[in-house]
Structure 1
Amino acid sequence: MKISVIMPVYNSARYLEQSVQSVIGQTLPDWELICVDDGSTDGSAAILNGLARQDDRIRILNQANAGVTAARHRGVDASSGEYICFLDSDDVLSPDALESLLGAAEEFGAEIVSHGYTKVAAGWELPVDCSAPSAKHSYQVATNPFKDIEHKRIPIVLWGKLFHRELLTGFEWPDIHFSEDLFMTLALSVKSQRVAYTEEKLIYYRQHPESATKTMTAEKLDEIFCSVNLVMDTITPDNRAYRHHIKRYIAKYQLFTLFDGVCGQPALEERFLQRFAASGRIALADFSPLRALRLWLSIHGYKRTQLGLRSIIRYLKV
């Protein structure tokens, strides 16, 4: 078996069939799809069972609700593929995605192969007359994958990649349910010897109000900081050369985006500042000057002044 596709499923009935059909329609036939139903209550289980009857490469596992990380972990443990690909149950693979990723992994001897994604609306559907591309995408080997992550040439998302099975053998999965991609992508990249990537888009990433990333809570905020702490704890003396790029990425695209999102919500903003001060892993110096200034003003109580910087930062994109 070449590729095991791991799909955690939780109340995805509206999008589930389209997602599974995008795997069934792959130009590469040598795959298995392991769907882990994480305690769905909306009819997802019935849809999965019906799809599994249509194709014996689909396997269904059931568990009480334990979160996406536990579901992925269980799926990997049950899989047999040489390579692992994660797919969320509301997203859609382009028809040649698996063939293209496998080709790059074998050509470059890469343990991770990354690709881009296209954002689509909740009601989007893959056109029925969409013909499969030729699987001739352009890949390159990352000389410093963390620099490419910092500059977003390699997305942080776990589902935008193909992983060699050996990377996940013995891997310590985090006990977190939100922002797990941050830790896992960076930790697996630290463990990897070679990463290949293309910025071409091989998956359709669905945007909808039910997405876990659309609303912030205190618990989710805490888990983001937990992920940040776990990432920084994985950096050993052997990979300190990557530390700068990792910290810059976390500061700009994780913590500042989080801070910007909770601004104006006093309880969450105060919680952010408390967690930021307590963590100590990321410093103001890791942010661009204007972002660092805005955080400093908020930390020291100058909230009206820091809000005035908000539009300037967004305009200048710094």
Structure 2
Amino acid sequence: MDVSFIIPCYNAAKTLQSTVASIEKTCSVPYEIIIVDDGSTDETEYVTMEIIRLNNAVRLYSQCNKGVNAARKLGWSKSSGEYVCFVDADDELVLNDNVLGWLSGKYDIIKAGGWYSKNCQRVDYGNGYIGEVSDVVSAYTLVLEGKLLPYIHSAFFRKRAITEECFDINPRFKIGEDLLFNIKVMSSCRKFVSIAERFYVYSMNEESAMHTKIWGFNYIRDFNDEMENLILPYCPELKDKLTLHRFIDYTSTLLFPEVKMKQQYYMEIILLLKENLWLKGLSPKKNVIFIENWSFYGVYVRLFHLLQRLRGRKIRMVID
């Protein structure tokens, strides 16, 4: 099966060649590489032209800076492979026949694992569920239970399973946009599979949004609203699972040392708990210690924050 590797770039001149080389060295099926320059101000275009000179399977498209999601959309629209694989411009792929053998045309999505790479060391990551999924309720259940990786990378998507609407994600959601993309694609999938094999090497960039930013309470409320808007029209029976997901997100967010403890947030949590008393028994214990008493819970949260700081936890900027 033909594969289109889509690489959105912004000032990626230093890393792009190694990313492309990893595909060239390890991909044994027909492929194309589509590089989308998202308004770079460094030598990304020059580096890409040198790559194209040596490999006619590589194509370049350029746009003014619109963000990674718009760059992925442009690359997808220009792709010709049956499957697409989205690759960040500072990451690498390690492909083999065991991985590529899953591109049989049977599945709309193949979700795999990979490695986090930092300081020349690699740590495995993978999906909590391994196997086939053939209905949207099961797919969304696995997502809500955290058993499927939320990433857009580490996966192959059948091109025709993706629509333009899948890329239409509210720009407010700078964290979690990959998860929203996956939810949209899954709504129209016939069958997909989560595999044990790994192929993606994710570079742990300390300056990325993942490492420098964290969501606040208002943000996570809006994000859960968006998830409900996407999932409930297809699967109203998942209302309770969405409620549990929201409750855990709310209580977990208040445990971030960057997030200020406010009584209005506490009151939202308590209202949700009173309307769904079963939540407390299904949430992580550390999230709900003293939760039914504002004073005790407030002290607990602040002590939890202090402990995190004493352990040297890096403080991130809050997006709220």
Q: Say which one has the larger Rg.
A: 2
> Would the alpha carbon gap of residues 9 and 232 (structure 1) be closer, same or farther in structure 2, given more than 3 Å must change?
same
Cα 1:3–1:217 change in 2 (3 A) is same
1:155 shift after superposition: 0.8
Change (3 A) 1:300 1:67: farther
Q: Partner of 2:77: helix, strand, or coil?
A: helix
Report the alpha carbon displacement of residue 93 of structure 1 after superposing the two structures with TM. 0.7
Using the TM superposition, give the Cα deviation of residue 12 of structure 1 relative to its aligned residue in structure 2, in angstroms: 2.2
| Counterpart amino acid of residue 234 in structure 1 | L
Aligned to 1:133: none
Report what 1:204 is aligned to.
Answer: 201
Residue matched to 1:141: 132
**8 Å CA contact 2:217, 2:250 repeated in 1:** no
Q: How many residues align?
A: 288
Is it true that 1:234 corresponds to 2:230 in the alignment? Answer: yes
**CA shift digits 1:226-248 (9 cap, x unpaired):** 54332211124542344555555
Matched, 1:169 2:163: yes
User: Could you give the per-residue CA deviations for residues 203-262 of structure 1, whole angstroms, max 9, x where no partner exists?
Assistant: 1111021222111277x987665543322111245423445555555665x66665444x
Q: CA deviation at 1:146?
A: 3.3
Distance of 2:7 and 2:77 partners within structure 1:
13
Q: 1 CA distance for matches of 2:244 and 2:198?
A: 25
| Residue equivalent to 2:185 | 188
Letter in 2 for 1:21: A
Letter in 2 for 1:104: W
Q: For the residues of structure 1 that align with 2:79 and 2:13, how far apart are their CA atoms?
A: 24
Q: Distance in 2 between matches of 1:45 and 1:223?
A: 35
Deviation readout 1:106-135 (Å, 9 max, x if unpaired): 27x21111001211115569xxxxxxxxxx
Q: Which one has a larger percent helix, Structure 1 or Structure 2?
A: 1
Which residue of the partner structure matches residue 106 of structure 1?
104
Pairing 1:3-42 to 2, within 5 Å after superposition: 3-42=3-42
Distance 1:156 1:70 in 2: 19
User: Residues 120-174 of structure 1: CA distance to partner in whole angstroms, max 9, x if unpaired?
Assistant: 115569xxxxxxxxxxxxx731362334334544211011211111211343421
CA distance in 2, matches of 1:2, 1:165: 11
| TM-score, normalization by structure 1 | 0.75
Superposed CA RMSD: 3.7
Letter in 2 for 1:163: F
Residues 52-97 of structure 1: CA distance to partner in whole angstroms, max 9, x if unpaired?
A: 111011111111111110100111111111111111111111132x
The residue type paired with residue 224 of structure 2 is V
Tell me the TM-score normalised to structure 2 length.
Answer: 0.74
Q: Which runs of 5+ in 2 are unaligned?
A: 123-129, 309-320
Paired residues of 1:158 and 1:181 also in contact (CA < 8 A): yes
Q: Deviation at 1:43? A: 2.0
Aligned to 2:318: none
C-alpha separation between the residues in 2 aligned to 1:221 and 1:37?
A: 34
Instruction: Supply the distance in 1 between the matched residues of 2:38 and 2:293 (Cα, whole angstroms).
Output: 40
Match of 2:60 in 1: 60
Percent identity over the alignment is 22
Contact 2:252 2:287 in 1 (8 A): no
CA distance in 1, matches of 2:31, 2:246: 34
- 8 Å CA contact retained: 1:115, 1:197: yes
